[in-house]
Amino acid sequence: MSDGQRHSQECIFCEIVRGKVDAQKVFEDDLSLAILDINPFSKGHCLVVPKRHVPWWHDLSEEEVESLFRVARTVAGKIARAFEPDFVCMYARGRRIPHTHIFLVPTYKGDPLDRFFNALEGFQEAPVILSGLREKNSMEETAEILRSI
């Protein structure tokens, strides 16, 4: 058995996709599935996962990426209409559970996620060590490094 097969057999998201573990499905297409998170940050917090076991989103096929983000957009719209949040926060994970998943979290001014991202943005803007990263020469150097790879 290959590592990928073993991991997909042990993966909770793969078990959900195969119908072996119950989940509150919200929406799906041929390649992606949206479910309610069992540990929600707020009412309506969903996860969007590819149906194929892929740990990192950048390793998905083009079709899977298109599906994943199309499903995420559709479900974010449903969340926005249903719960009228200030914003539907989206971020991709795959670290703790090594199966790509997008978090869609309805957020409201002052809630824990809003405070977290405000703190993160404050950190991003404040430290002296990071301020040099915004300088033109540093930005050009970084862009050139990324373009050359």
Residues noted as catalytic = 101
CA 15 to CA 17: how far, in whole Å? 5
Cα separations (Å) of 103 from 40, 62, 83, 91, 138? 10, 20, 16, 5, 31
Residues in Cβ contact with 90 at an 8 Å cutoff, skipping those fewer than 6 apart: 72, 76, 102, 103, 104, 105
Residue at token pair 């978090």: 103
- Cβ count near 14 (within 10 Å): 18
